[in-house]
Amino acid sequence: MQAFMTLRIALRALARNKLRAFLTMLGIIIGVGAVIAMVAIGEGAKSTIRAQIAALGTNVLIVLPGSNVQGGVRAGFGNVNTLLDSDAKAMARELPSVAFVSPVLRRQDQVVAGNLNWGTWAQGVAPEFQQIRDWQVAEGRFLHEGDMDSAAKVAVIGQTVARQLFGNDDALDAVIRIRNIPFRVVGILGAKGQTGQGTDQDDTIMIPYTTMQKRLMRITWVQSIVVKAVSAERVEEAEEQITLLLRQRHRIGPEREDDFNVRNLSDIAEAATTTARVMAVLLGSVASISLLVGGIGIMNIMLVSVTERTREIGIRMAVGARSRDIMLQFLVEAVVMAATGGLIGILLGVGSSEVIKQWAQWPTLIDPAIIAIAFLFSGAVGVFFGFYPAKKAANLDPIDALRYE
Amino acid sequence: MSELIRVEDVHKTYRMGDVEVPALRGINLTIEHGEFVAVMGSSGSGTSTLMNILGCLDRPNTGKYFLEGHEVGSLKPDQWAYIRNKRIGFVFQGFNLLSRTTALENVELPMMYNGFAGQERHQRAIEVLSLVGLDKRLDHTPNQLSGGQQQRVAIARALVNRPSLILADEPTGNLDSATSNEIMALFQHLNTGQGITIILVTHEADIAAYARRQIIFRDGLVISDRVSEQVIAKMEH
C-alpha cells in the first residue's frame, strides 16, 4: 500500500474521533511544550549569566591585599595597604601572560554639578581599565596616560550619572565637583546596564587613580589591581606568575602566607554556568517525563482503538490486507498523533517562552536544535508507544476478528 | 469446464479447552469454473469451517487444498492475503462493511491493497456498483442504506478485483425473503452473465434452490452432492 494512502487512512480514522485524538495528543503537546519552554528558560539563564560574566570582563583576575592579623583578629581581604601601583606596573612590564593591568581605588562620594548632586561610586583607574572591563566611550575620550602622570582633575562619567546630573544637557566639558574639587568631564561612557546582582554599572565616575590617591583619599597604596590575561587559556598561568612576582616584590619568605589574594573570575563564571546547566538538565528531564506520560496515553488509546476496530481489521484482512499493512496503518496513526502533538507542542513551547520573556521579564533562549530534537523525539514516542498496539492489530486472526462483536 | 477447486481428504479439528471438536472429517470435493454451488447444513456441521479453508483464512489439519491447480493450503499468510485480494471475493451474513465509510470507499477498499491508482480505482468501483444497481448511492454510508443495499455494496466489493470465485456465507441470513430473492437473482446473474464461480452457504432449501449444485453437510462429512435439473428461473434483474 502506498505511503500516501496509509497516511490518508490514518488521518481519516483520527478525524472520526477528533476529541479523542486531541485529548490523546494533549499529553504530547504538554510534554513537548514543557520541554521547549523549560529548556528555553534554562538556556536563557545560562546565556544571561555568561553575558554578565562577559560584562565583568573576560579573562580577568583581581588582586586584593591580604587580610590583616592584629592580636589574633583577622580582618577581611582588602584591609591592609601592601599593594602599590608599582606592583601593577611591574606586572604589566614583566609578565608575558598579562595583557592589561590597572590599579583600582573606589569610594562613595557626593558629586555636584550646578545645583544638582548625586551620590555615586567614584573609581580611580588607569587607562587600561577600559580594555579590561570592555568599556565603550559614547562621547569624548577615556582617561589617558598623561592624566595619570599629572594626577589631572578629569573624569569620565557613566550614563546614569550623566542623566542624574545633566538630564538632557550635554555633559561633555562640564565641571563637576567631588568633595569640592572641580573635575572636567572629558568623556561619557557607553551604557552597560545592570549586573546579575542588580547593581547599575552605569552609576559610576572614573578618574585617574593617581588623582584618587593624592587628592581624594590621600593614600599611597591601591585597593586592588585588576589584570586581564592575554587569553582564556593563560589565565591560570597569569595567576601563578602574579603570585610569584608579588611574593618576590613583597619579600615574603617560603613559610609565610601571601599578603595578597588573586581571584579568578573564570572560576566564578564556570561555577555559574555549571549551575545553570544543571538547572537546564533538571527542567528538561522533568519535562521529558511528561512527554513519556504522553506516550503512554497514546499507547492506551491505540490499544482501545485496536479493540474497537477489531472487525474493521478483520474486514481489511479478508479483502487482502497483509499483516504489515495493518501494522503500518496503526503505527502511522500513532506517529501522526505524536508528531502533530509535537508540532502543536513546539508552537506552545515557543509561545509560552515568549510570554515568559515578555511578561515575567525572564530571559529565555530557544535553540533551533531543541525544536528539531523535540519534534524527532515526539515522532519516536509515537513509533515506540504505537508499536505494541500496531503489532497486536497485525497479529489478529482474521476469522476471530470478523466474528468479533 | 476446468477445475477451480479440489479439496482432498481435508480434516479440521478445533480445540476448545480440553475437548477436541471435529469440524471436518475427511472432505473430498471438486468444483469446476463457472459452477454455482450451495452448501447446506445445520450449524456445527462444518460448512463455515469449509468456507474459511476455501477462503484462505484457515488451514486444514491434514489434507490438501488446490486452487486453480496450485496447492494453497500451506502457503504463507502474505501469500494468502494476495490470493484473498486477487482470486476470492467474500460476502458475509452481516455484510461487514466499514461503518461511516461511503459505499464507493467500501468498494475501493480491496484495491487499496494492490496498488491501483486513485483514478482507476474510482472508475472500477463505480463500474461494479452500477453492476449491482447502486450507481445512485455512491456517497451513502452503510447506515443510510437498507440491508439489501448493504449486501449489494458487499457484493460489489467482492467483485471489484475481478475474482474467479465468490464465497458467500449465508448472504441472505439477515434479509427478508423478498430482498433475499433479489440478492440470489443477482448472484445468478453474476454466475451466468460473468461466469463467476459462486459457493454459498445457507440453511434454507429455497435459497439453495437457486444453485445448480447442492452439497449437504452433516457432522463434518458430505452426505449428499447432487446437481439439480430444475433451477429457479432467473428473475429479471
Residues of chain A with pLDDT under 50: none
Q: Cell numbers at residue A163, please?
A: 542623566
Q: How far apart are CA B149 and CA B103, in angstroms?
A: 10
For residue A368, the distance in angstroms to the closest alpha carbon of chain B comes to 39
User: Is residue A348 classed as helix, strand or coil in its secondary structure?
Assistant: helix
Residue by residue, what is the 3-state secondary structure of B175-192?
Answer: CCHHHHHHHHHHHHHHHH
Amino acid in the structure at residue A125: V
Residue A207 · residue A150 · CB < 8 Å: no
Q: Which residues of B touch A16 (CB under 8 A)?
A: 100
Query: Across the interface, do B113 and A319 touch by the CB < 8 Å criterion?
Result: yes
Q: Cell numbers at residue A29, please?
A: 503537546
Q: A104 with A228, same domain?
A: yes
Count, residues in chain A: 405
Domain range for A20 is 3-52+271-403
Residue ending a domain, among A213, A228, A258, is A258
Q: Is pLDDT at B234 greater than 80 in this prediction?
A: no
Confidence band, pLDDT 50/70/90 cuts, at residue B140: very high
For residue B85, the distance in angstroms to the closest alpha carbon of chain A comes to 4
Q: A90 with A201, same domain?
A: yes
Q: How far apart are CA B214 and CA B234, in angstroms?
A: 17
A263 domain-assigned? no
List all residues 6 or more positions away from A363 whose beta carbon is below 8 Å from its beta carbon.
Answer: A44, A45, A47, A48, A357
pLDDT at B236: 45
A59 domain-assigned? no
Q: Cell numbers at residue B3, please?
A: 477445475
Query: Across the interface, do A315 and B114 touch by the CB < 8 Å criterion?
Result: no
pLDDT at B27: 94
Q: Are strands B165-169 and B19-32 parallel, antiparallel or unpaired?
A: unpaired
Facing residue for A320 by CB, picked from B92, B96, B114:
B114
Residue ending a domain, among A258, A279, A297, is A258
Q: Which residues of A touch B52 (CB under 8 A)?
A: 399
Beta strands (DSSP E) in A220-376 are 224-229, 260-264
Query: Across the interface, do A321 and B81 touch by the CB < 8 Å criterion?
Result: yes
Q: Cell numbers at residue A115, please?
A: 545645583
Q: A119 with A31, same domain?
A: no
Q: Which residue of A has its CA nearest to B160?
A: A319
Q: Is A314 an interface residue toward B (CB < 8 Å)?
A: yes
Q: A341 with A309, same domain?
A: yes
Q: Which residue of B has its CA nearest to A398?
A: B57
Backbone angles phi and psi of A372, in degrees to 5: -60, -45
Q: A305 with A349, same domain?
A: yes
Q: Is A7 an interface residue toward B (CB < 8 Å)?
A: no
Q: Is A46 an interface residue toward B (CB < 8 Å)?
A: no
How far, CA to CA in Å, does B75 sit from each of A367, B60, B80, B81?
54, 12, 7, 10
Residue ending a domain, among A230, A258, A286, is A258
Closest alpha carbon to B53 in B67, B35, B42, B34 = B67
Facing residue for A315 by CB, picked from B77, B98, B115:
B98
A8 domain-assigned? yes
pTM of the model: 0.71
A61 domain-assigned? no
Question: Sheet containing B70-71: which strands, arranged edge to edge?
Answer: B19-32, B3-16, B62-67, B70-71
Q: Which residues of A touch B58 (CB under 8 A)?
A: 399
A131 domain-assigned? yes
Residue A56 · residue A62 · CB < 8 Å: no
Q: How many CB atoms lie within 10 A of CB B63?
A: 18
Determine which of A14, A315, A332 to mutate to test the interface with B (most B C-beta atoms within 10 Å): A315
Count the domains in chain A.
2
A372 domain-assigned? yes
Q: A208 with A352, same domain?
A: no
Q: A209 with A300, same domain?
A: no
pLDDT at A272: 75
A65 domain-assigned? no
Q: Is A3 an interface residue toward B (CB < 8 Å)?
A: no
Determine which of B16, B57, B58, B121 to mutate to test the interface with A (most A C-beta atoms within 10 Å): B57
pLDDT 10s digits, B81-139? 999 999 999 999 999 999 889 999 999 999 988 878 788 899 999 999 999 999 999 99
Q: How many CB atoms lie within 10 A of CB B21?
A: 11
Confidence band, pLDDT 50/70/90 cuts, at residue B237: very low
Q: Which residue of A has its CA nearest to B59?
A: A399
Q: A215 with A119, same domain?
A: yes
Query: Across the interface, do A317 and B81 touch by the CB < 8 Å criterion?
Result: yes
Q: How far apart are CA A88 and CA A127, in angstroms?
A: 13
Q: Is pLDDT at B235 greater than 60 in this prediction?
A: no
Q: Which residues of B touch A317 (CB under 8 A)?
A: 81, 84
Find how far residue A57's CA is from the centre of its chain. Answer: 15
Q: A386 with A279, same domain?
A: yes
pLDDT 10s digits, A94-130? 999 999 999 999 999 999 998 889 999 999 999 999 9
pLDDT at B198: 96
Q: A10 with A155, same domain?
A: no
Q: Is A322 an interface residue toward B (CB < 8 Å)?
A: yes
Query: Across the interface, do B57 and A399 touch by the CB < 8 Å criterion?
Result: yes
Query: Across the interface, do A399 and B52 touch by the CB < 8 Å criterion?
Result: yes
Query: Across the interface, do A315 and B96 touch by the CB < 8 Å criterion?
Result: yes
For residue B158, the distance in angstroms to the closest alpha carbon of chain A comes to 8
Beta strands (DSSP E) in A24-171 are 60-65, 69-70, 73-74, 98-113, 116-125, 137-140, 154-157
**A and B: number of Cβ contacts within 8 A:** 57
A161 domain-assigned? yes
pLDDT 10s digits, B18-35? 888 889 999 999 999 999
Find how far residue B159's CA is from the centre of its chain. Answer: 10
Q: Which residue of A has its CA nearest to B52?
A: A399
Q: A93 with A150, same domain?
A: yes
Q: A367 with A398, same domain?
A: yes
Q: Cell numbers at residue B124, please?
A: 472500477
